[in-house]
Structure 1
Amino acid sequence: MAEFARLFNATGNRWVDSALAGSGTGANPVIISRILGGNPMGATQMNTGRDAEELIKAGLLTDLTDIAKEDGWYDFFADKTLLKPCEYEGKIYCVPINIHSWHWLWLSPKAFEKAGLPVPKDWNEYAADFGKLREAGVVPFGLAAGWPLNGIPQVLLAGVGGTDLWMKVYGDKDAATVRGPEFRKVAEAFAQIRDAVNPAEVVPQFADVANQIMQGTAAGNIHGDWIQGEFSLAGAVAGKDYDCIPGLGLNDRIEGGGDAFYFPKLPEGTDPAVIEAQKTLARLLVSKEAQLAFNLKKGSMPIRTDIDLSGANACMKKGLEILSSPDGLLPSGEVLLSSDTQQQLVDLNQEFFSDKSYALDDYIEAYAKIIEAAD
């Protein structure tokens, strides 16, 4: 964010942070409450998805369609589907700033060397090593408390289950598929992680997992590509100090979600200069300079490919190669599922993971019922 602030301040405007406690979508209720309560911020960041639908319907977010057309957003976006989550009834209401994906397996070469094992090439090889890693005194699967668990089941859904299963479950809301053999493999893989994780070894933050991977005390982790920000801060080199495998090494497609900026409509009487500053920021966020500076620091992929990415590390280059394929990106679960359905799945997954006596069949049936009622 400091990169955006630096560039915005250079325009003669002033960036003022109003950070919220916590991480991820936990901030959304506070953001939405402020806007609904008549105390909107000049700009706010949320994940791309359906969380802002009600604000758009209520006429509380600024229509950015004219800016998008004037600046040619439809021409330079790396994948046109990235704009879909920002569209409502043919108009654009947000600015995607990156392409993020949960669909990555991160591995520690140092940990596998310690255990006398080759670094796995995919999820199946990695999971087969859990017992040997434990015997060698290595944490098989590093995990941080709270929200980092939430993305793991969806990565397994697309990787272990396959991308067709992803679309049937999330896209078609096909509960019968959830009750079928392919989804059972996904649930079994999630249970395998549950059984491999010692609750006493769960660390407070995902940055701690990044440190475990670099130090070789944990063998690996499923996490979004933003974990690369932590590796970058530590000076770690992709392919040497850590390895990265998109799609769990089981397919060549990854989910294409990300972060986006929204611009609330400001109260009557607001200084026109502030409204102009909103437009300036919207344009700046997708500029070549801002896209390069922000994404190289954060470890995410830029939303445009007409920039010099020679400074991208080995992991970003893997992501960019997938992005170059017409079908490389899967629609984000945050786009396909409502916030309510997403939260129900989060609650179920957390409950299943925290209780090793929770039967697999009961988990599958509970999951199927959520998908059956999903909107």
Structure 2
Amino acid sequence: MNFRRIAILLTAGVALPFGAAQATDLEVTHWWTSGGEAAAVAELAKAFDATGNKWVDGAIAGSGGTARPIMISRITGGDPMGATQFNHGRQAEELVQAGLMRDLDAVAEREKWREVIKPASLLESCTIDGHIYCAPVNIHSWQWLWLSNAAFEKAGVAVPKNWDEFVAAAPALEKAGIIPLAVGGQAWQTSGAFNVIMVALAGKDNFYKVYKDKDADFAAGPEITKVFKAADDARRMSKGSNVQDWNQATNLVITGKAGGQIMGDWAQGEFQVAGQVAGKDYTCLPGLGVNEIISTDGDAFYFPLLKDEAKSKAQEELASVLVSPKTQVAFNLKKGSLPIRGDVDLNAANDCMKKGLDILAKGNVVESTNQLMSADSQKQIEDLFSEFFANPSMTPEDAQKRFVDIIASAD
């Protein structure tokens, strides 16, 4: 896609904001449509509306994989929104390089983002050629196993404390008519679960050897073979899930129809909406209870270049609101994610969020694949694990060979 040529056509005569401008409507696109997500995004809208501007909600049903192509098409096609969600990392890289997105340098400098946004990798993921192009709003970590206490009570086994105990409990769950592991049918869910297993069982250094160093020889070795064996266990345990969306899989855990789910901390929003209490109704195991580490993935908002001066000014005001301490608290308590600031009060956090905050404070973090790999390389990995989980005839050995080939050519 020739983004640069399109940029020349679309940005001619763009007026960047200088000085005051009148309040205006600003369309914001995102893919937050589940119950917990909708409650969280309402906090962002409320905070922005308080500036005198108006948040025009542009929710796109489905996952980010469904929404991103629509968002990109609008921006490159001359119909940009005021702001749009992407994940931390390289998803908007080509749009920025094509000159279709505006930088937020003035806002970031005025409000000292480099001092208050932690860890530094969050803002680094927003920075291209020395300019800041996005406002991060949360830290979403993938490294969680969510367990239904009621399901294990029904099966007559103790709630597991780690991955091995969970695998060992699977037969008892199945005997009780409970799906051991809920996994939705979307490709990002299966590849995400695999990466969680890799960090937990192989460790941070080995995860980086694969995804940061792109070491294909290591990816073919015994340490990653163990990860594929565990992924095979996960595939077997997820048989019978028969749901598509991640929140449908989470609901299986909430209702006790499934024992557990490997999913990011955004699942907490669904437990909260359902009125469930952490530690009482459900259990959370960061790092699968094996390696307590969290990824610094998450969501950020990018801002297309606009010709309208009032809307350009509103973009700056939205960026400021998103990062502000008050919004960070209100939004992340509803979303289940961690704040991107280290100077906010989260005394109201539940037990699982407090675990995440403690891990973050200790610095036990790992960059996400969104930050380490191109969208194209990630798509190849998603396709591989979508097929692996859907096709029992694909052996772990065959899957690992294909994985090695992807890593060897990854960028």
Task: Indicate conservation of the 8 Å contact 1:104/1:225, yes or no.
Answer: yes
Task: Indicate conservation of the 8 Å contact 2:142/2:192, yes or no.
Answer: yes
The aligned counterpart of 2:368 is 332
The aligned counterpart of 1:293 is 330
Taking the TM superposition and a 5 Å limit, the aligned residue runs for 1:1-375 are 1-146=41-186, 147-199=188-240, 201-267=241-307, 270=308, 272-326=309-363, 328-375=364-411
Q: Give the whole-Å Cα distance in 2 for the aligned partners of 1:358 and 1:204.
A: 21
Q: For each residue in 1:342-363, what CA deviation from the matched residue of structure 2 results, as whole angstroms up to 9, or x when unmatched?
A: 0000001111111111122111
Q: Give the whole-Å Cα distance in 2 for the aligned partners of 1:76 and 1:361.
A: 45
Offset at residue 113 of structure 1 (A): 1.0
Q: SS of 1:260's equivalent?
A: strand
Offset at residue 165 of structure 1 (A): 1.3
Higher strand proportion: 2
Task: Indicate conservation of the 8 Å contact 1:292/1:302, yes or no.
Answer: yes
Q: SS of 2:288's equivalent?
A: helix
What amino acid is the match of 1:175?
A: A
Offset at residue 184 of structure 1 (A): 0.6
TM-score normalised to the size of structure 2? 0.88
Q: SS of 2:180's equivalent?
A: coil
Q: Could you say what the CA RMSD is over the residues aligned between the two structures, in angstroms?
A: 1.2
Identity over aligned residues, as a percent? 49
Structure 2: segments with no counterpart, 5+ residues: 1-40
TM-score normalised to the size of structure 1? 0.96
Offset at residue 206 of structure 1 (A): 2.6
Q: For each residue in 1:63-84, what CA deviation from the matched residue of structure 2 results, as whole angstroms up to 9, or x when unmatched?
A: 1112111101111113111111
Offset at residue 306 of structure 1 (A): 1.2
Segments of 4+ in structure 1 off by > 6 A? none
What amino acid is the match of 1:164?
A: D
Q: For each residue in 1:172-217, what CA deviation from the matched residue of structure 2 results, as whole angstroms up to 9, or x when unmatched?
A: 0011111111101110111111122224x32243333333223322
Offset at residue 366 of structure 1 (A): 0.4
Task: Indicate conservation of the 8 Å contact 2:156/2:172, yes or no.
Answer: no
Q: Give the whole-Å Cα distance in 2 for the aligned partners of 1:214 and 1:363.
A: 32
Structure 1: segments with no counterpart, 5+ residues: none
Q: Give the whole-Å Cα distance in 2 for the aligned partners of 1:261 and 1:206.
A: 22
Q: For each residue in 1:42-83, what CA deviation from the matched residue of structure 2 results, as whole angstroms up to 9, or x when unmatched?
A: 111111111111111111111111211110111111311111
What amino acid is the match of 1:39?
A: D
Length, aligned pairs only: 370
Q: State which drifts further: 346-355 or 128-137.
A: 128-137
Q: SS of 2:55's equivalent?
A: coil
What amino acid is the match of 1:27?
A: A
